[in-house]
Structure 1
């Protein structure tokens, strides 16, 4: 695959970067309110995860693992699929029991997810918007990752699509999430780094999700571009 030659560097990003068009959730919106909104407005299944507790002045995940890689933002138990629900009534009960629990969404049901770095995601999002490409909701997380929601089935087809386009799936920082996986949704907080936010909020205009093929070429290009820019920076070019 020939990568478009450019000397334009993709700016470095930090976990505090604001994504263009990104909106923060209303301060009063609780995890329960978000979970109810997802079930009622999008017909998405939801389930509660862990949450953060303050221990000796520092946030700590309720899983009690001091080395937890995603504090306050992962399933609370191995059999988390038993708690997934599309019922607003059941969701209300679950978050009434654990009001600070993370709001997690199972993939492989209403949608699959394509995850890239924030640098690649910002580049891809800008290009897709310029092309007026179909876009679904997109999240931005404080660990500098962006997640694009697409139609179910993407996890199984994306590797083949990438190879058909000339890319090696193993050589790209493009992750797919499908059946048996999950994503964290706003207002879930990732440790002390802050909350997951919507870069593109769910709304009436993006109720119908794009297929993976609509996004993969641009996402793959953006991932390659980021890798090239990183190499140039390391070489001092």
Structure 2
């Protein structure tokens, strides 16, 4: 019993250190989250609301004001997690960052290419399958794992115009942007250790270095991400060749006018 209690205390201390890193060092708004509870054949949200729109993907209710923000003390963090033991850690998008959200296979392929090309990158997060992550009517498999690329805040409002200029304005493209009002689950182990003790949430690129606080503009990543998402859907060969050339030019810093002219040339073919 004493061994188990000591292990739980160490685990909670690790969570608090990680939350302090997210809120204090990175300036990310942080909150304890809900989780999925098995009930019979279905899963429900731990908040208890039968009509919950985001089961297991929103902050938990509680007496402590949320979210924790930059400057939160270790005592603030400990008080919140005492009220929500074992809660997952959520960070709020739309403040310090937005997130480009793509299927896991496309995201991992794009990440390899970006690293090879020297594309500026912020944190990159891998998420397991979740029935709550894709809203009805959106493209994509709601139960499939995802990869999230952290980019500068404001990307969600810019995304439609960016995709249009690059020639990727395809309603079936499985690429989304999360921003103001969205919450992202992150590993609750200390920053930089990668995984999250069995939940499947882990960093592919942990939030270390200056670009964790100042992630890159979405346009620097968007061409490669859109191309890999499109390619995995089985595009037409002539469009794929044109898209790959355009993506390389955009990633290398080609002017937007090239992206506009080249993108529309093949997208409307």
The answer to whether the superposition gives a TM-score over 0.5 is yes
Aligned residues: 195
Indicate yes or no: 2:114 matched with 1:113: no
Q: Give the distance between the partners of 1:32 and 1:141, measured in 2 at CA.
A: 21
Q: Is the 8 A contact 1:187 1:197 kept in 2?
A: no
* Counterpart pick for 1:215 among 221, 224, 227: 221
Q: Is the 8 A contact 2:31 2:67 kept in 1?
A: yes
The higher relative CO (CA closer than 8 Å, separation ≥ 6) is in 1
* Counterpart pick for 1:202 among 197, 202, 207: 207
TM-score (norm 2): 0.64
Shift of 1:54: 7.7
Give the greater-gyration-radius structure (CA): 2
More displaced 10-residue stretch of structure 1: 211-220 or 89-98: 89-98
Q: Which residue of 2 aligns with 1:42?
A: 26
Structure 2 stretches of 5 or more lacking a match? 1-9, 130-144, 190-197, 236-269
TM-aligned CA distance change 1:69 to 1:130, over 3 Å: farther
Q: Is the 8 A contact 2:100 2:175 kept in 1?
A: yes
Indicate yes or no: 2:137 matched with 1:132: no
Shift of 1:185: 1.0
TM-aligned CA distance change 1:178 to 1:54, over 3 Å: closer
What secondary structure does 2:171 align onto?
A: helix
Equivalent residues in 2 for 1:1-237, closer than 5 Å:
28=11, 30-51=14-35, 61-64=45-48, 72-77=56-61, 83-86=66-69, 87-89=71-73, 90-143=76-129, 144-187=145-188, 194-207=199-212, 208-228=214-234
What secondary structure does 2:59 align onto?
A: coil
CA RMSD, Structure 1 to Structure 2 (Å): 3.0
TM-aligned CA distance change 1:155 to 1:59, over 3 Å: closer
Structure 1 stretches of 5 or more lacking a match? 1-26, 230-237
TM-score (norm 1): 0.72
Q: Which residue of 1 aligns with 2:249?
A: none
Shift of 1:67: 9.4
